[in-house]
Structure 1
């Protein structure tokens, strides 16, 4: 196992896909995380998306709350500060966020699984920017899944159908300044529900992962790099070979407590009807099947959303 979480270049996948697959796959198996550079999402687009996120969260509380859809589990639109709580945690996370999902054509088979997006009228360019950003995240995620398939000795296109029109969600997060006496943290220790998560590096530090020795380690992508981690669905599919690592966002040092933190994770999901059934090659005498009961991606998602207070 490598002692550090080093950066891997997605551009290498175009030159030698097998070497890239080995590098990123080993990082995922060791850490549940990888840092990815040269991922194809332009700095210009990232800059526009980050600027638009700041503009939205700067709107008045009354304006933002007008886009909160009660009973929708936060699937689309605005989720106010103090709503989400990590599984088994007792205090709410110190964040507010906005969700953007996949745009489906009318009459699509998955319409009943995915709510339509809503868009803030106060920011006319919001829809254009994040529709472009969603597509860029989706493309980068597909390339990383191809490398994971190669690492697992599957067909390189194995994941294409599993995530086609999947229930992926882009989340814009604002962590406001933290009071000195706050008993809560920006995001309590948790694992992600989905297949893989792609996160554009935040200006403010705070992201940490829990390594296999039980130590918290900082995850610090450089500007423009992605932090990518395995979610529970892929952990389940691979019988824990690729671990969904516990991570958190800790409060800043005293001198930075007056600063907001913004981040933009993309939660890439399997399609709702995909049956998550342990891969046969991930089961042997030393690794018995930990998940003998298959479950659809949609049912698993609902199960987990209830645990964190969003459904």
Structure 2
């Protein structure tokens, strides 16, 4: 499969309008993209631009608060709440070692999962923040659900194959602030990594900073395409397809003279969905490259590796630093 050196654009308009043949045409393009670069822009996606703008404004408003105020809603082990600067370190990637803590702060919103308690974690004194954030969350979940048939057909599966396995999805919205930084060695806004998700949806803002790594090892910029979303395959779909769909490494910097904000939405299957090789992605005589795990098991491992507060909680509970209570999810050698 030939590699791509630029991030392609997929127009969802015909598919979302239900035009004859549009599902199959878009799925074929998606298959090529996911086998050659793993990142794309989607346009004519149906999400209200005004809602996107309001969500960016709320992210800026949140992070403008004093630190002690933000810490009133400090992040918990269910990944809800405020995470201060340099509280995460990318450890699940072999792309770079010796990474220093990531130069960003973020507010995590999560609505689904057995680990969420009865008390939601929200900032205080920000009227309208919760309402805008949840409206955007719902819009992203709706968009992700509309994309699922495309991914299924791209793999030669029935259109509802993923839909029925993602009807109670593990999802999360992150409102991230990357301040202007003079980066030193092994310092990043977020270090080279691949996402844990099935797919990630990233709205475009005015300040660029995302870079992706092509299959030939070249780091390329992701330019800002107005009124689009960047969509990338995550590790869950990569594992589900036995490596056929790429989970492309990427990183972020902020080398501008102003703050950069990002509002990525991470979409995962149901917690109890078993991530095993889907039909058609295992050749004759070929063995699975990854051990089968549920979404919940994989995410427990991922959080325990990358987030300091989860690592500490695991240590206090007598678990390993990585939280590997369900077995290691690394590729089979």
How many residues matched? Answer: 297
Equivalent residues in 2 for 1:74-93 (5 A)?
75-87=79-91, 88-93=97-102
The Cα of 1:250 is off from its aligned counterpart by 2.9
Name whichever of 176-185 and 44-53 sits farther off.
Answer: 176-185
Q: Distance in 1 between matches of 2:246 and 2:43?
A: 21
Conserved? CA contact 2:43–2:229, under 8 Å: yes
Q: Distance in 1 between matches of 2:24 and 2:285?
A: 26
Name whichever of 182-191 and 130-139 sits farther off.
Answer: 182-191
The Cα of 1:307 is off from its aligned counterpart by 1.5
SS in 1 for 2:280: helix
Match of 1:21 among 23, 27, 42: 27
Q: Distance in 1 between matches of 2:193 and 2:78?
A: 18
Going from structure 1 to structure 2, the CA distance change for 1:285 and 1:89 (only over 3 Å counts) comes to farther
Match of 2:68 among 38, 62, 71: 62
Partner of 2:330: none
Q: Distance in 2 between matches of 1:36 and 1:287?
A: 34
Equivalent residues in 2 for 1:1-311 (5 A)?
1=2, 2-13=4-15, 14-15=18-19, 16-69=22-75, 72-73=76-77, 75-87=79-91, 88-102=97-111, 110=113, 112-115=114-117, 116-179=119-182, 184-252=187-255, 256=256, 258-285=257-284, 287-291=286-290, 293-310=291-308, 311=310
SS in 2 for 1:236: helix
Going from structure 1 to structure 2, the CA distance change for 1:298 and 1:146 (only over 3 Å counts) comes to same
The Cα of 1:247 is off from its aligned counterpart by 0.5
The Cα of 1:61 is off from its aligned counterpart by 0.7
Conserved? CA contact 1:113–1:272, under 8 Å: no
Conserved? CA contact 2:80–2:108, under 8 Å: yes
Could you tell me which runs of 5 or more consecutive residues in structure 1 were left unpaired when the two chains were aligned.
Answer: 105-109
Going from structure 1 to structure 2, the CA distance change for 1:145 and 1:89 (only over 3 Å counts) comes to farther
Q: Distance in 2 between matches of 1:90 and 1:181?
A: 11
Q: Distance in 2 between matches of 1:124 and 1:196?
A: 31
SS in 1 for 2:86: coil
Going from structure 1 to structure 2, the CA distance change for 1:55 and 1:154 (only over 3 Å counts) comes to same
**TM-score, L = length of structure 2:** 0.85
Q: Distance in 2 between matches of 1:286 and 1:10?
A: 37
Going from structure 1 to structure 2, the CA distance change for 1:246 and 1:286 (only over 3 Å counts) comes to farther
Conserved? CA contact 2:273–2:295, under 8 Å: yes
CA RMSD of aligned residues (A): 1.8
Q: Distance in 1 between matches of 2:209 and 2:285?
A: 37
SS in 1 for 2:136: helix
Name whichever of 22-31 and 233-242 sits farther off.
Answer: 22-31
Going from structure 1 to structure 2, the CA distance change for 1:295 and 1:164 (only over 3 Å counts) comes to same
Name whichever of 279-288 and 261-270 sits farther off.
Answer: 279-288
Q: Distance in 2 between matches of 1:186 and 1:94?
A: 4
Q: Distance in 1 between matches of 2:50 and 2:121?
A: 24
Conserved? CA contact 1:229–1:244, under 8 Å: yes
